[in-house]
Structure 1
Amino acid sequence: MNEAIERSNPEFPPKIINGCVWKLREKSPGMVNKPSRGVFQLLKYRN
């Protein structure tokens, strides 16, 4: 996910992107699932 964000927004510093993604599940528990390490998924797409 970090790499995709970096490619689409090269002006964002990598550490800022990592910091935002790192706590994604904690900040939005009703919207985001983390099925495995490094993988985030919107709950509406969960099997």
Structure 2
Amino acid sequence: MHNTPPMAGHHEDRTSYVLALMSKLLALLTGLARTLTTLHLWPAITRNGHLMS
């Protein structure tokens, strides 16, 4: 990271805010995808378990 002059502070704040927002969105999407794959796989796993037993 490089030191920015005080004049560019507003722009830097906006950039860091956008980056934080994007990382939050990414984490949310990752969690959602993980939940969806779990929900999709769970019935198949239980169905296979029932079929095997």
Query: Could you state the TM-score of these two structures normalised by the residue count of structure 2?
Result: 0.30
User: Whose radius of gyration is greater, 1 or 2?
Assistant: 2
Higher fraction of helix = 2
- TM-score with structure 1 setting the length: 0.33
Q: Specify which structure has the higher proportion of strand.
A: 1
